[in-house]
Amino acid sequence: MHRHIDDQLRYDLSAAIDDERVEDVESILEFALWGLLFEDLRLASRALAALAPHDGVWAVRVAAARVVLRSHQGSDLLGVPELAPGAPESHDAVRVESMLIRLSGSRCRARTDETAGLLAEMTRLDTEGTLEAPGSPPLLRALLRVQLAIAHLHAGSSAVALAHLAVAARLADTCATLHRSILAKSATVHALRGNLVEARRQLRRFDRVDGEIPAPWLRALREEQALAEAMMLVERFDNHEPEMEWPEVEASDDLWPITALLRARLALLERSPMRALEIVEFAETTHPGWNSVFAQDVIAAMKAHALLQLSEPDRARDVLAQAPQGPLVVLATAHLQMFVGDADAARELATAVLDRSTSSLAERAEALLVRIWADAVLGRMPTAREGGIVGRMVVAAGLVRIIAHMPGWLMDQMVDLSERGVRPAFEAAVDKASAALVITERPQLTPRETVVLKALERHGSVSDMAKALSVSPSTVKTQLSAIYRKLGVSSRHHAVPAAYRFGLLERADSTRAV
């Protein structure tokens, strides 16, 4: 049976509470508290309430329990008053609990040096083998690892976060609820990094965990599972079930930046930039005081992408200039440079992301595509090797989202250059991305873009269009990128039908079927 707390312990603890045997309550809770939080929250609350008149160790312990509940459930359901401070520093479990509390308080503040110092201190203790005090319960050590993972995630180190979650999962394998929560968090971070294969594996492990889940935890676990599944859906650009419960930005706690990123990306894929702006601004409002590196990276990058869809590059530049240079901000800045026609600057930024050892698979994939795009605009055509790499990223890794905002002419070339074995699936992914993009308002094209659109209707290739318009192929590609973005498509096969739909072209004028 996958359960940490047995019936006899529950009976003994209840009897000690009823008989007001404080020492017995303390003795049982010394190691049982953390399992009780996940398996019998009501009993844990009763036991802690019985110790409320006492101070010392229990002041720290109750504070740590509150951190755990807020982190894993989004709210504090203890119903226990604050206790007086004053715990012995030499107590092993209290040392771990104190670190857990410090981590929780540090990650949301803008004092990056303070957070970095705390994480460096704990990394040193971990290397020395003294982080997990030998006298502390395994579940408490697992909970400390979870808080370390979340702190590293907010500091911008998602790979380190996954390492701590892996250790936490091993320490928590006797508690079904906590074990599932850790696996769901691990799946979410893997999906964030673009490793959808490993994310699916973690969710399969989540489903295989045996043991009954107490009612107070069912909703929290469903939301954690839904966040991981939704991240994977958006990365694969799959249609979701109408009944699927999408995570709520305001209901998330530790992982709220991921929820905001997910929902903003979905809005951008649906060409709803105003909704994307509303999502990130709502996330800031509902999580005041959270100024971690990761949170700022998400908020600034999503605002900038939304502003670019609204054709407001100056406002996007102002937003990005005020944010830390995290990977999402750097990539958003590269897109901004492509938007304003500075392919050299965009290429330099994309290369910096590719050269960074801590960049995730998703970040590297997007950076590679931006660099290929910039090179093409600068006159260097994509190679078969690049086509093969991008094809495998889209087909094998499932990263379809990254192609949705790329120019259609470029993706058509990448499909042609990809390996034969993946080409049909790659082309289908490009078509799916184009077909799924929607736009809610009639696009406003410039007079020059209207001329280029009419040339696209009549000519089949960029070179033919360039000859007809008496401009260079790179100029045509730049103008097509702007047109595709405004139409909400990423392929020439969908651009003209979309233009017909919005009344930007008259069907009677067509001389060539597309």
Kindly report, residue by residue over 13-29, the tens digit of the pLDDT.
889 888 888 888 878 88
Q: Which of 321, 333, 417 is nearest to 372 (CA)?
A: 417
Q: Do residues 206 and 67 share a domain?
A: yes
> Under 8 Å CB-to-CB from 350, ≥6 apart: which residues?
331, 334, 367, 368, 370, 371, 374
Q: Do residues 170 and 260 share a domain?
A: no
Split into its structural domains, the chain has a count of: 3
Asked if the model's pLDDT at residue 108 lies above 60, the reply is: no
Highest mean pLDDT among 2-11, 263-272, 493-502: 263-272
Asked if the model's pLDDT at residue 109 lies above 80, the reply is: no
Between these two residues, 410 and 488, which has the higher pLDDT value? 410
Asked if the model's pLDDT at residue 31 lies above 90, the reply is: no
Determine what percent of the chain is predicted with pLDDT higher than 70.
Answer: 84
Q: 427's torsion region: left (phi>0), alpha (psi -120 to 50) or beta?
A: alpha
pLDDT mean over 370-381: 89
Q: Do residues 119 and 205 share a domain?
A: yes
Question: Confidence band (pLDDT; 50, 70, 90) for 228?
Answer: very high
Report the b/e string of 374-412 with b at 16+ CB within 10 A: bbbbeeeebeeebbbbbbbbbbebbbbbbbbbbbbbbbb
Q: What is the pLDDT of residue 513?
A: 37
Domain boundary among 391, 411, 436: 436
Q: Do residues 260 and 369 share a domain?
A: yes
Asked if the model's pLDDT at residue 68 lies above 60, the reply is: yes
Please state, in angstroms and rounded to a whole number, the distance separating the CA atoms of residues 334 and 331.
5
| Structural domain includes residue 94 | yes
Between these two residues, 491 and 77, which has the higher pLDDT value? 491
* Amino acid present at 289: G
pLDDT mean over 399-427: 87
Our separate counts of H helices and E strands in the chain read 25, 0
Q: Confirm if 397 and 235 have CB atoms less than 8 A apart.
A: no
Here the CATH number for the domain that contains residue 381 is 1.25.40
pLDDT mean over 316-320: 96
| Structural domain includes residue 249 | no
Asked if the model's pLDDT at residue 303 lies above 90, the reply is: yes
Q: Do residues 331 and 424 share a domain?
A: yes
> Under 8 Å CB-to-CB from 325, ≥6 apart: which residues?
none
Q: Do residues 316 and 270 share a domain?
A: yes
pLDDT tens digits, one per residue of 445-478: 888 999 999 998 888 688 889 999 999 988 888 8
Domain boundary among 174, 203, 235: 235
pLDDT mean over 309-326: 92
Domain boundary among 373, 408, 436: 436
Asked if the model's pLDDT at residue 272 lies above 80, the reply is: yes
Q: Which residue has the tokens 């940490």?
A: 4
Asked if the model's pLDDT at residue 133 lies above 90, the reply is: no
Radius of gyration of the chain (CA): 27
Least-confidence region, from 103-112, 143-152, 329-338, 460-469: 103-112
Q: Do residues 428 and 498 share a domain?
A: no
Q: Do residues 427 and 467 share a domain?
A: no
Least-confidence region, from 73-77, 195-199, 370-374, 386-390: 73-77
Reported as half-sphere exposure (CB side, CA atoms, 13 A), residue 508 has a value of 0
Between these two residues, 404 and 259, which has the higher pLDDT value? 259
| Structural domain includes residue 514 | no
Spell out where 119-161 has E strands. Answer: none
| Structural domain includes residue 477 | yes
Q: Do residues 356 and 423 share a domain?
A: yes
Q: What is the pLDDT of residue 511?
A: 42
> Under 8 Å CB-to-CB from 323, ≥6 apart: which residues?
296, 297, 299, 300, 301, 329
| Structural domain includes residue 241 | no
Q: What is the pLDDT of residue 512?
A: 40
Q: What is the pLDDT of residue 76?
A: 56
* Amino acid present at 31: F
pLDDT mean over 96-124: 72
Q: Confirm if 175 and 39 have CB atoms less than 8 A apart.
A: yes
Please state, in angstroms and rounded to a whole number, the distance separating the CA atoms of residues 461 and 242.
39
| Structural domain includes residue 242 | no
| Structural domain includes residue 250 | no
Q: What is the pLDDT of residue 57?
A: 61
Asked if the model's pLDDT at residue 500 lies above 60, the reply is: yes
Q: What is the pLDDT of residue 334?
A: 96
| Dihedral sign of CA atoms 48, 49, 54, 55 in order | positive
Q: Which residue has the tokens 């999402």?
A: 328
446's tokens? 């410039």
Asked if the model's pLDDT at residue 291 lies above 60, the reply is: yes
Q: Do residues 359 and 217 share a domain?
A: no
Determine what percent of the chain is predicted with pLDDT higher than 90.
Answer: 34
> Under 8 Å CB-to-CB from 401, ≥6 apart: which residues?
234, 235, 236, 237, 265, 269
Domain extent for 478: 447-509
Q: Which of 169, 481, 193, 187 is nearest to 309 (CA)?
A: 481
Q: What is the pLDDT of residue 62?
A: 75
| Structural domain includes residue 218 | yes
pLDDT mean over 113-129: 79
Here the CATH number for the domain that contains residue 480 is 1.10.10.10
Highest mean pLDDT among 46-55, 102-111, 357-366, 432-441: 357-366
Asked if the model's pLDDT at residue 83 lies above 60, the reply is: no
Q: Do residues 407 and 460 share a domain?
A: no
Q: What is the pLDDT of residue 361?
A: 94
Please state, in angstroms and rounded to a whole number, the distance separating the CA atoms of residues 98 and 140.
11
Q: Do residues 112 and 195 share a domain?
A: yes
Task: For the chain, give the mean pLDDT.
Answer: 83
Please state, in angstroms and rounded to a whole number, the distance separating the CA atoms of residues 199 and 205.
10
